Amino acid sequence: MDSVLPLRGTQFTADLASVRAARGLVRTEAQAAGISPALLADLELVVSELVTNGVVHGAGGHIGVGFEPGPPAALAVTSGLPAADSRPVGPPSGWAAPPPHQISGRGLFLVATLSGDVRVQYHDQLLTIACRFPWAAR
């Protein structure tokens, strides 16, 4: 994946209702492409985590969700950064599970664990996290 953009996408308002809407968008396109139920569950979890992070930690406004079923399936979520020159997300190699007693902080670890390839890109006050999921067409 040379660049995380562009994917066909949809903009959502940066609120928690958009998590469900983004999950529905990915589910509909994935099912139409014949993606297996197991991979579909992974895609739904990853898009839910990334959109939730954009809503909770982003600058507000809108969140972009791009999805192409592939194969491989490609998913990208873009949100605004909360402050100029902010880079709140490190490289995926550092996305470790938090200690068991910690209540939150598992989202990016789950994203890295479920995806075969994750990329982080900063551009013009935006953060994009893009993932690829290998699968074979029937």
87 domain-assigned: yes
The predicted-structure confidence for 33-57, as pLDDT tens digits, reads as follows: 999 999 999 999 999 999 999 999 9
138 domain-assigned: no
Three-state SS sequence of the chain: CCCCCCCCEEEEECCCHHHHHHHHHHHHHHHHHCCCHHHHHHHHHHHHHHHHHHHHHCCCCEEEEEEECCCCEEEEEEEECCCCCCCCCCCHHHCCCCCCCCCCCCHHHHHHHHCCEEEEEEECCEEEEEEEECCCCC
4 domain-assigned: no
Band the pLDDT of 116: cuts 50, 70, 90: confident
- Mean pLDDT across 114-127: 90
The structural domain count of the chain equals: 1
2 domain-assigned: no
Model-wide pTM > 0.85: yes
- Identify the weakest region by mean pLDDT among 79-88, 89-98, 128-137: 79-88
pLDDT of residue 7: 64
CATH assignment at residue 91: 3.30.565.10
Boundaries of domain holding 113: 9-133
